[in-house]
Amino acid sequence: MKVLVATEKPFAKVAVDGIREVVEKNGHTLALLEKYTDVNDFYAAVADADALIVRSDKVTKEVIAHANNLKIVVRAGAGFDNLDLAACTEKGIVAMNTPGQNSNAVAELVMGMLVYAVRNFYNGKSGSELMGKKLGLLAYGNVGRNVARIAKGFGMDVYAFDAFLTAEQIEADGVAHAVANQAALFETCDVVSLHIPATAETKNSINYDLVGKMPKGGILVNTARKEVIDEASLLKLMGERTDIRYITDIMPDADAEFKAFEGRYFATPKKMGAQTEEANINAGIAAANQISNFFATGCTKFQLNK
Ligand code: 3PG
C-alpha cells in the first residue's frame, strides 16, 4: 500500500524517519509531499495513495475527488476541522485523528507565550508574575489538562469549564476548580486559555461580551483555532479596554489591526503549538501505526466518521 505524508508544514526529520520505519516495516511504501504551495501538487500526489497522513492540511472534497485509491486518512494531531468528513464517508474512506499525541507541546507553548506576555515581551520594562493568578481553561481535554498540570507548578490557581464534562469529572484529578459556565470562567480568571475545537457552535463564540467580562489586565491566550474568535468584536473591546491583552498561536485574519495594540498583542508567524520533535514523533508515528493496524486487522480505533 502507498502511504502519502502531505504536510505543508513538515514534521521534524526524526519524525519522518520514524514514520518511514513503521510504514516500511509493515510492508508499505512511503511517499512524501512537504512544503507544497500549489494544491495541484497535493491532488497529483494523492491520486494513487492508499493512505494519507496530514497535519492542518485541508482535505477537501476536491482532494478526495482526486484520490482514486484512498482508504484511510489520518490527521496527525487533534483538531480535525480540516477534514471533509462527509466527503470521506461518501467515498468509504475512514478518517481518524491521533488525540493527545501533541498536547504537551501545545501546553508548554501556552505557558511560554504567557510568560513572554506578562514580562512585556522582554522589552526591559517591569512586568508581572503568574504565581497566585487565576488561570481559566476553556475545555478540559488533553491540552487543557496538560496546561493545568504545568500551571500548578507556576503556583497558578486553575479553573476550567468544559461543555462536555461535569464538575465532578473536571475536579476528579484534583487540579482544576470547575465553574458553572463560560461566562463565569471569564469573570473569574486573570488569564483565559482556549482549548475548544472549531465547530459550528464554537465559531465566533469568543467575543466582546465574553472577553469583556475579564477582570482588569485580563489576558486571552489562543492556541486552539482562529475561527473561534469573533475578531471584529475583540478588536472593538481592545479599543475600549486598554488593559486587555490577546496572545495567539494562530495569526488572526485581522493581524494588521491587532498589531495597532502595541504591547498588548502577540501572534506567532506560523502555528507553533505542535511543532516540536517530540510531538511530531508522537503524532506522526501514531498515525503510521493506526494506518498499519487498519490495513492489517481492520482496526478503526479513533475513527471520526463512524
Ligand atoms: C492540532 O489540532 O493537533 C494542533 O492544532 C496542531 O496542528 P498542526 O499539526 O498543524 O501543527
pLDDT of residue 236: 98
pLDDT of residue 124: 97
pLDDT of residue 110: 98
Helix, strand or coil, per DSSP, at residue 53: strand
Q: Report yes or no: 229 and 236 within 8 Å, Cβ to Cβ.
A: no
pLDDT of residue 175: 97
Ligand 1 lining (C-beta closer than 6 Å): 9, 55-56, 77-79, 102, 271, 273-275
Amino acid at 59: V
Residue located nearest, by CA, to atom 3 of ligand 1: 77
pLDDT of residue 11: 98
pLDDT of residue 83: 98
Cβ contacts of 248 within 8 Å, gap of 6 or more: 221, 222, 223, 226, 229, 266, 267, 268
166-172 contact pairs (CB < 8 A, 24+): 169/140, 170/140
Residue whose CB lies within 8 A of the most ligand 1 atoms, among 19, 35, 55, 302, for a mutation test: 55
| Rounded Cα gap, residues 43 and 45, in angstroms | 6
pLDDT of residue 277: 98
Q: Report yes or no: 48 and 40 within 8 Å, Cβ to Cβ.
A: no
Q: Mean pLDDT of residues grouped by 10 in the chain (306 residues)?
A: 98 98 98 98 98 98 98 98 98 98 98 98 97 98 98 98 98 97 98 98 98 98 98 98 98 98 97 98 98 98 96
Q: Report yes or no: 190 and 133 within 8 Å, Cβ to Cβ.
A: yes
Q: Which of 269, 210, 275, 217 is nearest to 245 (CA)?
A: 217
Amino acid at 194: L
Cβ contacts of 219 within 8 Å, gap of 6 or more: 114, 117, 118, 190, 191, 192, 244, 245, 246, 247
Return the C-alpha cell found at 108. Answer: 508548554
pLDDT of residue 204: 98
Residue located nearest, by CA, to atom 9 of ligand 1: 55
User: Rounded to the nearest 10 degrees, what angle do helices 277-297 and 13-25 cross at?
Assistant: 10
Distance from Cα 25 to the centre of ligand 1, integer Å: 26
Q: What are phi and psi of 69, to 5 degrees?
A: -115, 0
pLDDT tens for residues 4-49?
A: 999 999 999 999 999 999 999 999 999 999 999 999 999 999 999 9
Distance from Cα 211 to the centre of ligand 1, integer Å: 24
